[in-house]
Amino acid sequence: MILADAIANSAQGIAQLFEELYDPAFLIDPAQGRFIGANAAACRFLGYSAEEFTQLTPTDIHPHEIPRLDAFMVSVREHGRWVADDLSCRTRDGSLLPAQVRATEVCIGGHVYVLTVVRDRREEQLAELGRSIRKLTHDLRNTMVASRLMGDRLCRHEDPMVRRSAELITRSVDRAVNMCQQTLEVGNAEEQQPQRERFLLGDVLEEIRAAIGPEEVARASLDTSQAADAEVDADFDQVYRILLNLVRNALAAGASRLQVIASREADSLLIDLSDDGPGIPEAMRARLFSEKSGSRTPGGAGLGLAIAWELARNHQGDLLLLNSGLEGTTFRLVLPAGPTLEGTPSRPQPGAKRPDGDPMPRP
pTM comes to 0.52
Pick the residue with more confidence: 245 or 136?
Answer: 245
**pLDDT top residue among 291 and 122:** 122
For the chain, give every domain's residue range: 2-120, 124-190, 195-363
pLDDT at position 215, please? 53
Asked, colleague to colleague, whether 2-120 and 195-363 share their fold, the answer is no
User: Which CATH class for the 195-363 domain?
Assistant: alpha beta
Beta strands in the chain (DSSP E): 25-29, 34-38, 83-86, 89-90, 96-97, 99-108, 111-120, 197-200, 221-226, 231-234, 257-265, 268-275, 318-325, 328-336
CATH superfamily of the domain spanning 2-120: PAS domain (3.30.450.20)
> Hey, which residues does 271 pair with through a beta bridge?
262, 333
> How far apart, in whole angstroms, are the C-alpha atoms of residue 91 and residue 349?
55
Express each pLDDT in 114-135 by its tens digit: 888 998 888 887 777 677 777 6
pLDDT-derived band at 236, boundaries 50, 70, 90 = very high
166 confidence band (pLDDT: 50, 70, 90): confident
